[in-house]
Structure 1
């Protein structure tokens, strides 16, 4: 299940090469306004709009990001476009009844979430197979969003990494299955860190799905403080970019 994009496509193609009967459920992305409203309820409108401004600024650098993403994919033999042979079913949301009906008809052995909205607790309870998530951060200290970015901000480059974990009712709180660490290059920034981590995580995703298919999942509880992260407001992003070169 995914909302689309180059990062999920890389993993989808890798999975399809191993399991030709893979089926993709593609949900419509959440609107920026809905996201801003939800964050405003949590942080207030000033911080919410500051986070939105960072995302808009990052989108203005899309051409630069696209070049770097193409370099990453080319150097590692990855394809950022979903193969035409892979079946894709579109739904409005992974939490809608139509999605549950589709899951029941497909009868999957395992479901992998990549770049989706949070799976509702009620929906999760109805799914009869393991649900995994590829998270671009090391749990539990970099739960939520922009885990790679925040690890750099906190001088914790040793935890610039990704986690595959079981999905539970929380946000990136399910048992971890595998972790991988990576290192960004000089030209990477907030829009390319996720692809660096996705590329690094390809093998642990394949391993996790293989384990799930054969009933060999062995989740563990990672150590460390549990901190839920969000995109930096634009003033924070600019401050660390200008003073420390972390963009």
Structure 2
């Protein structure tokens, strides 16, 4: 259903409902924010600061050891530096899927220190959202999650449960599992990307795609499933699914793994 504007063209009527997006920001989350803002009447963003690299390294070192943690940090630095050389492919992806990464001044953005702080939870509660949508933010603490009364949905750039965690597209390629290169929208529970699945979409990376562009491709090709999941939440028609199969949490590859796969197999 739509409305006719003064030029005689049909415009889609926005769906009523308050959607609160929690994110640390960035190009990929902005694509989803823009897509949601085009479809729903009210979208508010709670914007966290990015986690410091020192916190990241210490947490990874506790879990995986210092050599691996520092190797992963080196890959992250290389990825950030390398993105400047893949901007042409990035623009091509945006044009192919008709999405925008331009900040939307019409979307209200509220800075928060972390979604897991009392201040942020108080703000969220006062908004009384109909659905909370997570993308590239801190993992919700159990107390935070239990205090949210509406559905909480997460966008994940990977096919769950095979590729939980980080760099799902990269690891699908490394594992010769390209049929599981894609993205998942799922309900949030206490685990890392372990909540019941709502929708998944798969796509094929191009020859020019690398670790620098995989997440962008996964996001740009998946705005439709994000919108459908939020629509279901607003309508009270969520249909969560439990998918059987291998389940593993992945991380950034250490820099030596990334270089080896790049030189030996052309997977960068």
TM-score clears 0.5: yes
Quick one: which of 177, 194, 213 aligns to 1:173?
A: 194
Q: Give how far 1:82 is off.
A: 2.2
CA–CA distance in 1 between the matches of 2:47 and 2:86? 23
For the pair 1:229 / 2:250, whether they are aligned, the reply is yes
Counterpart of 2:77 in structure 1 is 56
Counterpart of 1:3 in structure 2 is 24
* C-alpha distance after superposition, 1:194-234 (max 9, x if no partner): 01000111100000000000111010111211100000000
For the pair 1:134 / 2:155, whether they are aligned, the reply is yes
* C-alpha distance after superposition, 1:1-33 (max 9, x if no partner): 110011011110110011131111110110011
Counterpart of 1:219 in structure 2 is 240
Quick one: which of 139, 147, 153 aligns to 2:174?
A: 153
Quick one: which of 155, 165, 171 aligns to 1:144?
A: 165
Quick one: which of 64, 68, 71 aligns to 1:47?
A: 68
Counterpart of 1:238 in structure 2 is 259
Quick one: which of 111, 115, 118 aligns to 2:132?
A: 111
Q: Give how far 1:48 is off.
A: 0.2
For the pair 1:183 / 2:199, whether they are aligned, the reply is no
Alignment of 1:3-22 (within 5 A): 3-22=24-43
What SS is found at the alignment partner of 2:55? helix
Quick one: which of 87, 91, 104 aligns to 1:70?
A: 91
- Relative to its length, the structure with more strand (as a share) is 2
CA–CA distance in 1 between the matches of 2:86 and 2:148? 36
CA–CA distance in 2 between the matches of 1:90 and 1:56? 26
Instruction: Give 1 or 2 for the bigger CA radius of gyration.
Output: 2
* C-alpha distance after superposition, 1:76-113 (max 9, x if no partner): 22111221111000111111111111111111000010
In structure 1, the gaps of 5 or more residues are none
In structure 2, the gaps of 5 or more residues are 1-21
Task: Output the TM-score relative to the length of structure 2.
Answer: 0.91
* C-alpha distance after superposition, 1:144-169 (max 9, x if no partner): 00000000000000000100000000
Counterpart of 2:119 in structure 1 is 98
Counterpart of 2:101 in structure 1 is 80
Q: Give how far 1:241 is off.
A: 0.4
Deviates more, 1:149-158 or 1:94-103: 94-103
Q: Pairwise CA RMSD of aligned residues?
A: 0.8
